Amino acid sequence: MTTIEDIKRQVLEPYQNHRQLSIKEADTISLELLDLFSQSDCNDKETLKYLANFLTGEMYNDLMEERNLNKKCGYPSCTRSQSRVKDPYGGNAVATRFLQENNPYAYLSQFCSKFHYRCSQFYEVQLTDEALFVRSGVHLNDDIQGKAPKLQDVTLLEEMMQGEEIKQHDVAAIIKGIGQLHINREGEKAEVQEEVQKDLSDWLSQIKIAEKANPHPLGDFFEEKG
């Protein structure tokens, strides 16, 4: 299991003397993270959130593929293997592509369960496509970086589904994510996309929204800012 401290010590430590990464340094960090998490898993939710600071959507897909090759569920915090490790049509590219495009259970060849499939999608849509080398200071330790917030502010779907009360703006973030997941993806049929949206909507209905006992008369914005 890999922690935030492991990432800092094993991957980021050589780059603490400057705020701006070079393209080569950013590529090296990306490759080392890919290698690390293709063989290990995030120790906790905070590690998975921290990892988002260094990922793009493309790199995340590469990571899922590498984890699958190592017989691991594509979701970086999962310790299990995908449900269908062996491809019964192995070597037949035409059959494999057909199944990926038409089989509603194709995700089982990448993930341990439908839940982690949905968690992974929700995580992915929050990742930026901005190159790592332009994310100034994101690799620095907190004592060097200061109190500046991290680039990514990721919400995990599993946190929302634990039955804990959450604020209305957190629910809004989930709804936004569901909308993004409905964007057409290459190789994914409309029926599969509709199933994604329905499942997430069903899970969303289980969430309890916390109401403040004495809310500000002008709303949360004025309460937080004023």
216 in a domain, yes or no?
no
210 in a domain, yes or no?
no
Please say whether the beta carbons of 196 and 114 come within 8 A.
no
25 in a domain, yes or no?
yes
**Distances in Å between the alpha carbon of 139 and those of 5, 127, 128, 177?**
12, 16, 16, 26
* Domains identified in the chain, total number: 1
**What is the domain-level CATH number for residue 23?**
1.25.40.820
Question: Residue 40 belongs to what domain range?
Answer: 4-79+114-184
pLDDT tens readout for residues 31-42: 999 999 999 999
124 in a domain, yes or no?
yes
Please say whether the beta carbons of 42 and 77 come within 8 A.
yes
Please say whether the beta carbons of 155 and 111 come within 8 A.
no
Query: What pTM was estimated for this model as a whole?
Result: 0.72
167 in a domain, yes or no?
yes
Looking at residue 179, its pLDDT comes to 56
Looking at residue 35, its pLDDT comes to 97
**Distances in Å between the alpha carbon of 73 and those of 94, 122, 184?**
24, 16, 24
63: left (phi over 0), alpha (psi -120 to 50) or beta: alpha
Q: Is 142 exposed, middle or buried (0-12, 13-18, 19+ CB in 10 A)?
A: exposed
User: Over the chain (226 residues), what is each successive 10-residue block's mean pLDDT?
Assistant: 96 93 97 97 95 95 94 95 64 58 70 90 90 92 62 80 54 57 47 56 55 51 44
Looking at residue 77, its pLDDT comes to 96
pLDDT tens readout for residues 165-181: 455 555 555 555 555 55
65 in a domain, yes or no?
yes
109 in a domain, yes or no?
no
